[in-house]
Structure 1
Amino acid sequence: MSLALSRLAAMGDTTRAMLWMIASGLLFIVLNGTLRLLAQQLDPFVTGFLRYSFGVVVMLPFIWHAGWAAYRPANVSGQIWRGAIHTSGLLLWFIAVPHVPLADMTALGFTTPLFIMLGAVVFLRERMVAARWIAAVIGFCGVLVVVSPNLSGGAGLYGFVMLASSPLFAASFLITKALTRRDSPHVIVVWQSLGVALFSLPFALPNWEWPSPGQWAAFAFCGVIGTAGHICLTRAFKLADMSVTQPIKFLELVWASLFGFAVWGDVPGTATWIGGLIIFASTSWIARREARRAKPA
């Protein structure tokens, strides 16, 4: 373990950011699959509230050990805005997720990196590096190759509802990047869970239903992996430009295919393999390119 950590520390910031992004993608695939099942069994707003409430519960031992002062943010208003915007995106996402086919949901979700890259240029004044945009566009094309055989168009209005959540999530992640300048990833994740739980509570109460013991366990599991995923994501944002990390997100489609095969025995089709190779090529190319750029001359 110590050897792995020392090797990680010896890597450049860009390489470490990409590894954190890959880790977050793996965790979020498991998280989203579990939440989709829960949202089909319980009210979606109740599902969203409990997911982030357990995110707070998971962090309580760390807050107790370090003291609340260690988790007091430097920018309280920014944390509140981030919580409100992220909650807005989640409400739309949870409304749509029980009704949108998995392939359509995956395709719509991958519009978020493009909104993030555009926002990073406009609001965070990141340089518009052509190679990053080329990698993002190629990766998105790979996603379309994978999902195009399964796009039924049957999601109707819910597909547009889920699409509307993408720019809101992008705005939330852009605020996260700005917050990393003054707050640690752990502080940001704690306040995200607090903010989303509080803002989503009024929507959950009118349709409240008590989960079963198995569902409680699933929410606890979501709290652990969701918190870990957001910590990995925030660490990636802290180490590198957001436009560097976004092409890596397209690898999540590969993880989703492998996860589906391992859990449900879904055999990836030809389109999945071709699209996966395109995604892998684009992410590998930008990763190697950025690693070379980060090396001192």
Structure 2
Amino acid sequence: MLNAAMKKLAHELDPWLVGFLRYLLGATVILAPALRRGVRELWPKAPKLQLVRGLFHTGGMMLWFAALPLVTLAELTAIAFSVPLFICLGAVPFLNERMSGARWAAVLVGFAGVLLVVDPLAGGGLAGISTGILLMLASAPVFAGSFLIAKVLTRHERSDVMVLWQHLLVSLLLAPFALLSWMPPSAGQWALLVVCGFLGAGGHYCMTCAFRVADISAVQSVRFLELVWAALLGFFMFGTIPAGWTLAGGVVILASTLWLARSESRTV
């Protein structure tokens, strides 16, 4: 739902402005309940690591926003699923996580499903891949770096503090680009931006909590399920009919996710 709303707004407003307001509003969503603990409790225990994560996440968002108007919703979501592959690759050397055979299989099968959706050979080979898809692919390792740092931060910070500072730093770094392209959103656009703020902040909070209690490599494979929702929302919101390869890829992705969930439940 968040990607669908962001894509709709990116066609109506400048993508930098949309990103800035989404993260600024998301910060207020987290700030309100977090203030109950007191202002002192909101200061991070690892500020330098928070800053590095903010830089990584902003870099990924800038590439993502540049691609947003150029790709379909199904492509947008599918290509974003290359992020888990980079995360799983990085989790072994940087976090000392053990990748079981089931996890590797689930990630690789899920990524094969993503390739079915993108279908790079349909456009005449790799040269036929669009600029939007290339920008999305470039954002994947940058986002992976942000999430790997987030996993490290869970050892030092509370989840609400992590999400608050992520949103504050990203909105601060995007502010110059947003101000250069400022145009006042309409009432309907403001309403959708508020929804994006809630969904984004809530999603990041839940994901951060998941990083705290589980290996990051195990958490990421479940994200492949988002593609099914992206295809449905793309049809209802933008009139985009999923191609046969998209549906086939969705089935493969769903199978890999269910397989991983079954495998992980046996090890608990």
What TM-score do the two structures reach when normalised by structure 1?
0.82
> Could you tell me how far 1:269 is from its partner in structure 2?
5.1
* Residue 92 (structure 2) pairs with residue 118 (structure 1): no
Q: Distance in 2 between matches of 1:94 and 1:150?
A: 25
* Residue 78 (structure 2) pairs with residue 78 (structure 1): no
Let me know the Cα RMSD of the aligned residues.
2.1
1:232 to 195, 200, 206: 206
What TM-score do the two structures reach when normalised by structure 2?
0.91
Determine the structure 2 residue equivalent to 1:130.
Answer: 101
CA deviation map 1:164-205 (0-9, x unaligned): 111110000000000011212111111111110111112222
| Structure 1 segment 103-182 matched on structure 2, within 5 A | 103-148=74-119, 152=123, 156-182=130-156
Say which is worse superposed, 91-100 or 55-64, in terms of deviation. Answer: 55-64
CA deviation map 1:185-229 (0-9, x unaligned): 111111111110111112222222221111111111111111111
1:50 to 21, 25, 29: 21
Q: Which runs of 5+ in 1 are unaligned?
A: 1-29
In structure 2, do the counterparts of structure 1 residues 164 and 275 end up closer, same or farther at CA, with 3 Å as the change threshold? closer
| Structure 1 segment 253-272 matched on structure 2, within 5 A | 253-261=227-235, 263=237, 268=242, 270-272=244-246
Equivalent pairs counted in the alignment come to: 265
Determine the structure 2 residue equivalent to 1:252.
Answer: 226
Determine the structure 2 residue equivalent to 1:36.
Answer: 7
Please list every run of at least 4 consecutive aligned residues from structure 1 whose deviation after the TM superposition is greater than 4 angstroms.
149-155, 261-270
1:199 to 153, 156, 173: 173
Q: Is the 8 A contact 2:120 2:129 kept in 1?
A: no
Q: Which runs of 5+ in 2 are unaligned?
A: none
> Could you tell me how far 1:157 is from its partner in structure 2?
2.9
CA deviation map 1:138-162 (0-9, x unaligned): 1111222234399657763333222
